[in-house]
């Protein structure tokens, strides 16, 4: 066995251990804010992630339409994350996507290992667990399945799960509809900046180049959830991210200096504005810091689709129309790949400083 293979969190979870390996125990600073996610989700007070209803987004009535679009824009300015309802993607299809992903993770471990990725050789698509990316060896309490789902001609069907049988059909259909939703959202965000409606879509690569990458996150039950994180605090590098989940809470957003727990809203799709749109809009739209908590009672699964610009082809920088003398560019020009590299570098620096 190759030593660099990350342990599957699923096997750790089912092994019956009562305390988690030290690599999964978070830093002292993080531990102070990790609490019981079920208790957190029940709390009614404090700020809440906005819910945006898309049913009037294309209303014939100009006033109704503009009010609806303004709400979405405001949520992107204020939070950079929202629950989308009446998004136009059929509930039945969402259920099929979730059922298929769940069925894949319910396969025996040795079946899933046939799809294992190989991160060290750069093959990141497939079944995997996070490798430590800094000297502290810190790990996250999750396994995942990662692959590109759109555009169709860029997919590698050889790594798509063959079981369950509906996986390919349901996921492909979902990808196509989500791509349409991304165009819609990008057009509203463009208009919100005073740009032509197709502008942001074009700036992130358009139909040919914007890549939709799906990551199914599988968070097994954790014997010491107060010590671990499913996903550590980060902002998404994407243009937009769309998330489904199995109605088990876990997502927290860092809003006004506090961790806010996202409620589970039936049939909604959670949408994040990622760093890419934050950069293009010169910070007018926010890419919010977020993380995932785990629990000891229920397995949590989420389906995140990252809509990403091409790695090298586009230089991301604040658009000239949103920059002025009063509001100079707050982000330097970088390709998407350079942006990711820069974040990793900063993280490594931070880890060294805090040691
Ligand atoms: Fe994220």
Ligand 1 is an ion; its neighbours by CB within 5 Å are 236
Q: List, in sequence order, every residue forming a beta bridge with 148; answer none if it has no partner.
A: 213
> What are the φ/ψ torsions at residue 13 (nearest 5 degrees)?
-65, -40
DSSP letter for each residue of 323-336: --SSS---S--EEH
Is pLDDT at 49 greater than 80 in this prediction? yes
- pLDDT bucket at 316, cuts 50 / 70 / 90: very high
Q: What is the pLDDT of residue 135?
A: 65
Question: How far is ligand 1, taken at its centre, from the CA of residue 110, in Å?
Answer: 28
Q: How far is the CA of 254 from the centre of ligand 1 (A)?
A: 12
Q: What is the CATH number of domain 21-354?
A: 2.60.120.330
Query: Is 234 designated active site?
Result: yes
Q: What is the pLDDT of residues 112-163, one digit of tens each?
A: 999 999 988 889 999 999 887 666 789 999 999 999 999 999 999 999 999 9
Give 153's Cβ-side CA count (13 Å radius). 4
What confidence score (pLDDT) does residue 346 get? 85
Question: What's the confidence (pLDDT) of residue 3?
Answer: 42
pLDDT for the residue 7: 80
pLDDT in tens, 1-42: 344 455 899 999 999 999 999 999 999 999 999 999 999 999
State the distance from the centre of ligand 1 to the C-alpha of 81, rounded, in angstroms: 11
Residues 6 or more apart in contact with residue 1 via CB below 8 angstroms: none
For residue 289, how far is its CA from the centre of ligand 1 (angstroms)?
Answer: 8
pTM: 0.96
DSSP 165-229: TTHHHHHHHHHHHHHHHHHHHHHHHHHHTTS-TTHHHHHTTHHHH-EEEEEEEEE---S-TTT--
pLDDT for the residue numbered 350: 74
Tens-place pLDDT, residues 179-232:
999 999 999 999 999 999 999 999 999 999 999 999 999 999 999 999 999 999
As a whole number, mean pLDDT of residues 279-300 equals 98
- Annotation marks residue 58 as catalytic: no
290 is catalytic: yes
Q: For residue 95, give the 3-state DSSP assignment.
A: helix
Options 73, 112, 272, 290, the catalytic residue: 290
**Spacing, Cα 222 to ligand 1 middle (Å):** 20
Of 10, 7, 5, the C-alpha closest to 219 is 10
Residue tagged active-site, from 99, 184, 215, 347: 215
Question: From ligand 1's centre to the CA of 251, what distance in Å?
Answer: 9
Q: What is the pLDDT of residue 4?
A: 47
pLDDT in tens, 247-288: 999 999 999 999 999 999 999 999 999 999 999 999 999 999
d(Cα 89, Cα 172) in Å, to the nearest integer?
A: 13
Spatial neighbors of 94 by CB under 8 A, at least 6 apart, are: 174, 244, 267, 269
What is the percent of the chain where pLDDT is above 70? Answer: 96
Spans of all domains in the chain: 21-354
Instruction: Give 108 Cα–ligand 1 centroid separation in angstroms.
Output: 27
Which residue did the predictor score with more confidence, 86 or 349? 86
Residue 354 has pLDDT above 80, yes or no: no
Name the catalytic one among 99, 130, 176, 234.
234
Q: Is 61 a catalytic residue?
A: no
Output the CA 331–ligand 1 centroid distance in Å.
20
Q: Which of 73, 83, 87, 236 is catalytic?
A: 236
Phi and psi at residue 67, to the nearest 5°: -65, -45
Q: What is the mean pLDDT of residues 299-307?
A: 98
The whole-angstrom separation of Cα 336 and Cα 69 is 28
């Amino acid at each position: 066995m190759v030593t660099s293979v990350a342990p599957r969190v699923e096997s750790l979870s089912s092994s019956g251990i009562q305390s988690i390996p030290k690599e999964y125990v978070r830093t002292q600073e993080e531990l102070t804010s990790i609490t019981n996610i079920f208790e957190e989700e029940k709390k009614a007070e404090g700020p809440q992630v906005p819910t945006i209803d898309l049913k009037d987004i294309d209303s014939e009535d100009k006033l109704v339409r503009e009010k609806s679009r303004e709400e979405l824009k405001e949520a992107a300015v204020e939070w950079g994350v929202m629950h989308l309802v009446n998004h136009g993607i059929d509930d039945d299809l969402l259920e099929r996507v979730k059922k298929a992903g769940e069925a894949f993770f319910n396969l025996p471990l040795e079946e899933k290992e046939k799809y294992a990725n190989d991160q060290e050789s750069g093959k990141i698509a497939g079944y995997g667990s996070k490798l430590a990316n800094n000297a502290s060896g810190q790990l996250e309490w999750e396994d995942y399945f990662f692959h590109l789902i759109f555009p169709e001609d860029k997919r590698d069907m050889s790594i798509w799960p063959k079981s369950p049988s509906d996986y390919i059909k349901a996921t492909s259909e979902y990808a196509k509809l989500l791509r349409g939703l991304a165009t819609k959202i990008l057009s509203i965000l463009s208009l919100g900046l005073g740009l032509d409606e197709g502008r942001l879509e074009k700036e992130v690569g358009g139909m040919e180049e914007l890549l939709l990458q799906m990551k199914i996150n599988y968070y097994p039950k954790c014997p010491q959830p107060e010590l671990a994180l499913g996903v550590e605090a980060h902002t998404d590098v994407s243009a937009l991210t769309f998330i489904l989940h199995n109605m088990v809470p876990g997502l927290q957003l860092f809003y006004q200096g506090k961790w806010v727990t996202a409620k589970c809203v039936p049939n909604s799709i959670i949408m994040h504005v990622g760093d890419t749109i934050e950069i293009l809009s010169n910070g007018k739209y926010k890419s919010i810091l977020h993380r995932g908590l785990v629990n000891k009672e229920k397995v949590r699964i989420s389906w995140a689709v990252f809509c990403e610009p091409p790695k090298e082809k586009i230089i991301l920088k604040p658009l000239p129309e949103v920059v002025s003398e009063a509001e100079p560019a707050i982000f330097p020009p970088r390709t998407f790949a350079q942006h990711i590299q820069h974040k990793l570098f900063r993280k490594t620096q931070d880890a060294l400083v805090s040691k």
